[in-house]
Amino acid sequence: MKIEGREYRTIWFENNVIKIIDQTKLPHQFIIKELKTIKDAINAIKVMEVRGAPLIGGTAAYGLALAVQENNDSEFIEKSAKDLIQSRPTAINLNWAVDRMMKKLSGINSDQILDIALNEAKEICDEDEKFCENIGINGLKIIEEIYNKKKDTVNILTHCNAGWLATINWGTATSPIYHAHKKGIPVHVWVDETRPRNQGANLTSYELNEEEIPNTIIADNTGGILMQRGEVDMCIVGTDRTLSNGDVCNKIGTYLKALAAHDNNVPFYVALPSSTIDWDTKYAKDIPIEERNSEELSHIEGIDENNKIKKILIYPNKSKAMNLAFDVTPAKYVTGLITERGIAEASFDGLKKLFK
C-alpha cells in the first residue's frame, strides 16, 4: 500500500539485510531500518519496530535467514529459532513461520542453505500478501451487502492495527475496507485509539489517511455509545491467534467491543489468514497472554513544538500499573471469520469446512 503516494511492503530483503519500516517512529517519522543480524531481528520483534501477527511471522522467517547468513552451523540455527519463538509469546504466526522455516532447512548443510532460507522467507511473505488480498475480496461481499441495503456510507469499527502495516501488505481487517474503497463504496472507519501503544491512532489512522479513506479516531471506550446510536454498521478486527473452536485472541479491549456489538446486534467479524489458526491449543486459558512493561501505560510518546519526539510520564509516579497486551473473545460473540478461503462460522466445524 501507499505512503506519500509510493507503494511499499512492510518488509523486504536487499543487499544482505532485512529492511523494515520502523513502526515505533510512526506516525511522526518514516524511517526504513536495516536489520543485519538475528539479534537485530529478535530485538525488532520485542520492541515492536515490527508488530502484528503476520508481520511478526514474516520477520521471524527472514530473521532465520539472517541467522543462516551469519553462521550456518545447525546448533546456531536451532538456538536462533528458539530465541525467536520467545521474543513475543501470543501471536501464533511466529511459531508457525519458525516451524515452517526449520522444516525446510532440516538436514540441509550444502552451500545452498542460504538461498533456500531466503526463498522460503520470501515465499512466506508473498503468500501472506496473497492471503490478505483474498481476505479483502471475501470481506468485500459483507460490506457490499450492507451498502446495498443502506445506500449510504458504511461505518466500520476496528481495533488496534490489523492493517497493511501489521502484515506484508493489504492487512487483514483493513483489506475488505481497501477493496470496498477501490470499488467506490463509501466507507468510514471508526478507529479505536488502542491504548496503551495507540496502534489504532498511530498506525491504522495513518495508513487509512495515506490511502485517503475517511476515518475518525475514538477513545477506546467510545465504541459502545456509537453502537447504541446506530453509528456502527459492522466491526472488523484482526487476531493474533484463533483457536480451532473459533475463540479469538486479539489486542486487549477486543473482547469488550465484541460484547458491545453483541448487545447492539452489530455484526462482529474477525479477519485472519490461516497462519493465525492455532489447531493445537484446545482452551483459551492455555493461550500465553503477553504482559508487557507497565511503562507503556505510565508514559506516553508524542511530538513537541520543535518537532522532537518526547516521552513523558502521565501517571502518579508511585502508582503501579498492569499491562496485559491481549484478551480472548469467545466464539459465540463472533459473527464470522473472514479468511483467504472464504467466510467461516467461528467454530471447529466452520473452520474445518474451509481448511480440511
List the catalytic residues.
240
Neighbours of 96 (CB within 10 A): 23
Stretch that binds ligand MRU, among 46-54, 142-150, 224-232, 329-337 (CB under 6 A): 46-54
Stretch that binds ligand MRU, among 1-9, 112-120, 162-170, 261-269 (CB under 6 A): 162-170
Size of the site for ligand MRU (CB under 6 A): 17
Residues 79 to 118 in contact with ligand MRU, rule: CB under 6 A: 91
**CB-wise, 80 or 276, nearer to ligand MRU?**
276
**CB-wise, 91 or 97, nearer to ligand MRU?**
91
Closest approach of ligand MRU to the CB of residue 160, in Å:
4
**CB-wise, 97 or 162, nearer to ligand MRU?**
162
Bridge partners, 237 (sequence order): 270
**CB-wise, 49 or 120, nearer to ligand MRU?**
49
270 binds ligand MRU (CB under 6 A): no
Residue 356 Cα distances to 70, 178, 279, 280, angstroms: 39, 29, 12, 15
C-alpha cell at 137: 475480496
**CB-wise, 192 or 233, nearer to ligand MRU?**
192
Closest approach of ligand MRU to the CB of residue 158, in Å:
9
Q: Beta strand 299-303 with 268-271: parallel, antiparallel or unpaired?
A: unpaired
List 202, 239, 275, 298, residue binding ligand MRU (CB under 6 A): 239
**CB-wise, 160 or 261, nearer to ligand MRU?**
160
251 binds ligand MRU (CB under 6 A): yes
Instruction: Give the integer Cα–Cα distance in Å for 248 and 287.
Output: 10
Closest approach of ligand MRU to the CB of residue 309, in Å:
19
154 binds ligand MRU (CB under 6 A): no
For residue 349, with 0-12 CB atoms within 10 Å meaning exposed, 13-18 middle and 19 or more buried, which class applies?
exposed
52 binds ligand MRU (CB under 6 A): yes
* Prior bond of 288 cis (ω within 30°): no
| Extended beta strands in the chain, E state | 2-3, 6-7, 11-14, 17-21, 32-35, 154-158, 187-192, 215-218, 234-237, 241-243, 248-251, 268-271, 277-278, 299-303, 309-313, 326-329, 336-339, 342-344
51 binds ligand MRU (CB under 6 A): yes
List 68, 121, 258, 325, residue binding ligand MRU (CB under 6 A): 325
Residue with the CB atom nearest ligand MRU in the bound state: 238
168 binds ligand MRU (CB under 6 A): no
Bridge partners, 310 (sequence order): 302
10 binds ligand MRU (CB under 6 A): no
- From the list 168, 184, 91, the residue with the least C-alpha distance to 135 is 168
- Written as one letter, the residue type at 57 is G
C-alpha cell at 179: 477493496
Neighbours of 316 (CB within 10 A): 8
For residue 29, with 0-12 CB atoms within 10 Å meaning exposed, 13-18 middle and 19 or more buried, which class applies?
exposed
Stretch that binds ligand MRU, among 119-127, 212-220, 236-244, 340-348 (CB under 6 A): 236-244
160 binds ligand MRU (CB under 6 A): yes
Residue 334 near residue 268 (C-beta atoms within 8 A): yes
C-alpha cell at 166: 501489521
List 21, 65, 68, 162, residue binding ligand MRU (CB under 6 A): 162
54 binds ligand MRU (CB under 6 A): yes
**What does the binding site for ligand MRU look like in residue numbers (CB under 6 A)?**
51-54, 91, 160, 162, 166-167, 172, 199, 238-240, 250-251, 325
